[in-house]
Chain A
Amino acid sequence: MQSLILREVSKMIIPFIQIFGIYVIFFGHISPGGGFSGGTIIGVSLILYRIAHGKEVAMNKFKYNSLIRSLCGALIFYGILKGYSFITGGSGIHFPQLPLGTAGNIFSGGYLLPLNIAVGIIVSVTVYFLFALFYEGEI
């Protein structure tokens, strides 16, 4: 199912989908959105690339090793950061914390921005894996 129209239209539309997903992730703490919705949107753009260009091209572009490495790295990063926040905040230990910044800027809200980015990476890779396993049985 490789049609010329699908390929050309997907070439035009995939960058816009990815920029919208990155916007939803990065502005998740001051406007509607967040890690899960933005990660799903980026995952949909990866799925569209795989449908339009076929299995071999997508498998060369998004290699299994790099995808699983970024997923595990984001998971470990999320666990360390969230655990640090819980331990130092919950038991009253005065370790250095991330600055809060001024309300309304992108760099505000403390731990929310890096946690949102980690969740976005995890969700996008997971959605892509789910589709690939359903569609062709291999990633």
Chain B
Amino acid sequence: MKIFSIIMMLFLIGASIAVSMMKNLLSTIIIFMVYSLVMAILWQQLNAPDLAITEAAVGAGITTLLFVLTLKKIRGVKK
């Protein structure tokens, strides 16, 4: 289980670098959601299932929804 956690953590570092390097805004939001989901799995590995439920509901659900709505409102999606 330790190897799994290390792989997840490397994935997390890669995702957080990709969020700041990406040019397209919609891709940034989707990678941010992936980051949040991996973080929820990692909380579960660290014996904090309470925080994992909250992270999966708020970080991957509500925050992504609000970000996509804001992007639609400011017309930041490239055709």
- Chain A positions within 8 Å of B, measured between CB atoms, are 24, 32-34, 36-37, 40-41, 43-44, 47, 127, 130-131, 134-135
CA distance A41 to B57 in the complex (A): 6
Kindly state the separation between the CA atoms of A44 and B69 in the bound complex, as whole angstroms. 15
Judge whether B76 is part of the interface by a CB distance below 8 angstroms. Answer: no
- Could you tell me if A40 and B62 are in contact, using CB atoms closer than 8 angstroms? yes
Contact A134 B66 (CB under 8 A): yes
Bound Cα distance A135, B68 (Å): 10
Instruction: Verify A37–B61 contact, CB threshold 8 A.
Output: no
Given A32-B50, A33-B50, also A40-B58 (CB < 8 A)? yes
Give the nearest-CB partner of B54 in chain A.
Answer: A37
* Chain A proximity of B28: nearest CB distance (Å): 18
How many A-B contacts if CB must be within 8 Å?
36
Query: Is B53 in contact with A24, judged by CB distance below 8 angstroms?
Result: yes
With A32-B49, A34-B50: A130-B66 Cβ-Cβ less than 8 Å: yes
- Contact for A37 among B50, B69, B70, B73, CB less than 8 A: B50
Min CB gap A37→B, angstroms: 4
Chain B proximity of A136: nearest CB distance (Å): 10
Residues of B whose CB lies within 8 Å of any CB of A are 49-50, 52-54, 57-58, 61-62, 65-66, 69-70, 73
User: Hey, which chain B residues are within 8 Å of A134, CB to CB?
Assistant: 66, 69-70, 73
Check B53 against A135 for contact (C-beta < 8 Å): no
Residues of chain B contacted by A33 (CB below 8 angstroms): 50, 53
Provide the bound-state CA to CA distance between A134 and B62, in Å: 12
Q: How far is the CA of A33 from the CA of B57 in the complex (A)?
A: 11
The docked-state distance in angstroms from the alpha carbon of A130 to that of B57 is 15
Most chain A beta-carbon neighbours within 10 Å: one of B49, B58, B69, B70: B58
Give the Cβ gap from A19 to chain B, nearest Cβ, in Å: 15
Q: Which residues of B contact A47 (CB under 8 A)?
A: 65
Q: How far apart are the CA atoms of A85 and B50 in the complex, in Å?
A: 25
